Amino acid sequence: MDLNHHTGAVIDGWAHVAQSIETILVTRLNTRVFMRQFGSDVPNMVDMPMNDANIIALYVSVAEAIDRWEPRFELTDVALSAGADGIMSLQLTGSYLPNAHLGDSTVVSGETQIIRVQGTRVDNWSLAA
């Protein structure tokens, strides 16, 4: 259970996992005082050229960060789309494991969960609709 970062309402379950993933991906490494390793390299990649090497590096950064910090989401696919307006969108596909942080790797159902995260050139990442 946590508070929604935008509304202040209490959230839990899948909504909490999606918000947690957003927090992980938008937090730069070495910025949390007592958890320097928390976060990802994703914010540093916003203005990088969209070549194959950088796209693969982005995928790796996303996968490693989620694997390390959010056990309740088992990532199976990452897709990137970018527009001329400078907005990058990541679509993260995977399974929701509600009790994985407690050691139970049971999947809620057979359905796949999708999270969309968007970032702009001004380093403003957020969950997309």
Q: Which domain holds residue 29?
A: 2-127
Look at residue 68 in the predicted model and tell me its pLDDT: 94
Look at residue 129 in the predicted model and tell me its pLDDT: 46
pLDDT digits (tens, 9 = 90+) for 80-98: 887 777 677 888 888 888 8
Rounded Cα distance between 26 and 127, Å, is: 10
Look at residue 126 in the predicted model and tell me its pLDDT: 55
Rounded Cα distance between 98 and 94, Å, is: 13
Look at residue 122 in the predicted model and tell me its pLDDT: 45
Residue 98 belongs to a domain with what CATH number? 3.10.450.40
29 φ/ψ sector (left φ>0, alpha ψ -120 to 50, else beta): beta
pTM for this prediction: 0.78
Question: Is there a contact between 70 and 20 (Cβ–Cβ < 8 Å)?
Answer: yes
Cβ contacts of 124 within 8 Å, gap of 6 or more? none
Cβ burial of 84 (10 Å; 0-12, 13-18, 19+) is exposed
Provide the token pair at 113.
């969960």
Which residues does the chain have with pLDDT short of 50? 121-123, 129
Rounded Cα distance between 73 and 62, Å, is: 12
pLDDT digits (tens, 9 = 90+) for 24-38: 988 888 888 888 889
The tally of domains found in the chain comes to: 1
Look at residue 119 in the predicted model and tell me its pLDDT: 64
